[in-house]
Amino acid sequence: MIERAASADAPGLRRSDIVDASARGIASHVAGLIRTGEMTPGHRLPPIRQLAQRLNVSPATVSAAWRLLKRRGLIAGRGKSGIRVIGQGEAFAPAAAAPAIAGLQTGNLRAVFPDPAFLPDLFEALHAVRRLEQLEEYYHEPALPALADAVRQVHPDIGQRLIAASGSSDALWSVLQAISVPRDRVLVETPTSPQYLEIFAELGLEVIPIPYRHGGPDVQAVDQALRLRPVALFFQTRSQIPTGWSLGEENADALALALAAHPECTVIECDEVNDLSPAPLHTLATRLPQQTVHIGSYEKAWGPDLRLAVIGTGDAHADQIEPVVRSTRQWTSRILQQTLAELMTTANGRGVVDDARDIYRKRHEALVQALAERGVLAAGGTGLCVWLRVVDEDAALRRLAAAGIAALGGHGSVVGETDSAHIRVASLRVPVEAAPALADVLAEATRADPHGVRRQRPG
């Protein structure tokens, strides 16, 4: 692809050209320029701060617009290497069907999908759904009693009331719809999962980055950002995607102390990995029960078609969230809720998930160890993926694609601007015996340079 330098005048990107200068408005305008051919593949866009100044908006607004376009596969790149227009579908080109690595059955390591070999059998659980009565009637309860009981057997302290949702993204959307309005500020872990950032952008919220480190969200950063009167703090509790780090007990206590002085800030904690995490759950729901909304996701452990999450919170927040769910979703499938409840309360179902957790842990540890032996440090230690620093994101992804491996570029996981580049590689489907060969390819990818110059590994 021929790259074309960004024009100093940036035709089509003057303030007078753009009717709506919100993130969505800027993204829509640029998408239109790409569709009409005014911007063609290879066209380089102006630096974020330069464009923000020209449009009289914040750099965060331009960054949010770029994230929306990247998720639509229209632009790529980041930081010093620049943002460029790409061909339709280039960002989502699939990996080769047969990766060039012995023992690896799939090259798609972009998505954090469970290995089908380690999911519970749904047949008997679905068969038990016959016991449900009045399936032909509309349903008004926030969660099926059987599922609520099953969840409380494992996590009795995640909230006074439970509400079922269609996955963690649906749960987060419902919570934010209930407690926020456009332009509200939200403190958000960084890095994080891209789908969450898309929800914040879609709802028109101003995202303030909070670094997620070993032990959880940076408490000092949270304490300082609370002066901006955010409506919420969002973070993952354990085996965080993408870093694999978890909220520790000491950090949980410190966060609760800082947040207790700001009851207007709702704590939204997401247990995305949930039953597959070997790390203990240190929830703020036990420390700030009326201020915390806990989201537990179940699809990775129990099956992708069981797209379910459970929201746990106190009465005040439940009274806000339940009407949103009723008005937009009415209810979450009772068939899926009952199926999950059956799986969670049988020895066979829990045994399969316990085995899967142990297998995923060994796979992750094997890949992290193989990378360390090649001088590459992966963040975290209990996750379902590795978060690797690279010289150049695009060059790293191209090097992996040449070996039949698809990874996720890190730009969509980061809030705001950063000088470092990363990629995310799922470890769930990487057998222990394939870890050394994959680590060889990953080590090369971390050093890949867009100009073909061999670089030292990023520090």
**What CATH number did the domain enclosing 176 receive?**
3.40.640.10
Asked if residue 292 and residue 166 are part of one domain, the reply reads yes
Q: In whole numbers, what is the pLDDT of the chain averaged over residues?
A: 89
What pLDDT, in 10s, does the model give residues 243-279? 999 999 999 999 999 999 999 999 999 999 999 999 9
Backbone angles phi, psi at 453, to 5 degrees: -90, 130
d(CA 394, CA 417): 17
**CA dihedral defined by 353, 355, 360, 362, rounded to 10 degrees?**
160
Classify residue 406 by its DSSP letter.
Answer: B
Per-residue tokens: 299: 């699809």
Angle between helical axes of 59-71 and 194-202 (0-180°, round to 10)? 120
- 444 and 403 in contact (C-beta within 8 Å)? no
- 99: CATH: 3.90.1150.10
Angle at 394 between CA 390 and CA 399, to 5 degrees: 80
For 308-430, list the strands marked E by DSSP. Answer: 309-313, 385-390, 408-409, 421-426
Asked if residue 107 and residue 86 are part of one domain, the reply reads no
What is the reported pLDDT for 88? 54
Asked if residue 101 and residue 86 are part of one domain, the reply reads no
Residue 424 lies in a domain: yes
Q: Single out the residue in 59, 91, 123 at which a domain terminates.
A: 91
Q: Which sign does the torsion angle of CA 318, 321, 327, 332 carry?
A: negative
Residue 193 lies in a domain: yes
Q: Single out the residue in 297, 323, 345 at which a domain terminates.
A: 345
Region 102-116: mean pLDDT is 91
Q: In the chain, what percentage of residues exceed pLDDT 90? A: 63
Asked if residue 140 and residue 215 are part of one domain, the reply reads yes
Asked if residue 255 and residue 188 are part of one domain, the reply reads yes
What pLDDT, in 10s, does the model give residues 146-168? 999 999 999 999 999 999 999 99
Asked if residue 140 and residue 221 are part of one domain, the reply reads yes
d(CA 385, CA 205): 28
d(CA 62, CA 59): 5
Establish how many alpha carbons lie within 13 A of residue 77's alpha carbon, considering only the half-sphere containing its beta carbon.
21
The structure tokens 């193989």 sit at 370
Q: Give the domain range for residue 79.
A: 15-91
Asked if residue 408 and residue 337 are part of one domain, the reply reads no
What pLDDT, in 10s, does the model give residues 177-224? 999 999 999 999 999 999 999 899 889 899 999 999 999 999 999 999
Residue 289 lies in a domain: yes
Establish how many alpha carbons lie within 13 A of residue 392's alpha carbon, considering only the half-sphere containing its beta carbon.
18
Say if residue 453's pLDDT is above 60: no
Residue 123 lies in a domain: no
d(CA 178, CA 182): 12
Q: Single out the residue in 330, 345, 360 at which a domain terminates.
A: 345
Q: Are strands 309-313 and 232-236 parallel, antiparallel or unpaired?
A: unpaired
Say if residue 7's pLDDT is above 50: no
d(CA 33, CA 37): 6
Q: Which residues pair with 163 in a beta bridge?
A: 311
Asked if residue 336 and residue 365 are part of one domain, the reply reads no
Q: How many domains does the chain have?
A: 3
Residue 1 lies in a domain: no
Asked if residue 384 and residue 235 are part of one domain, the reply reads no
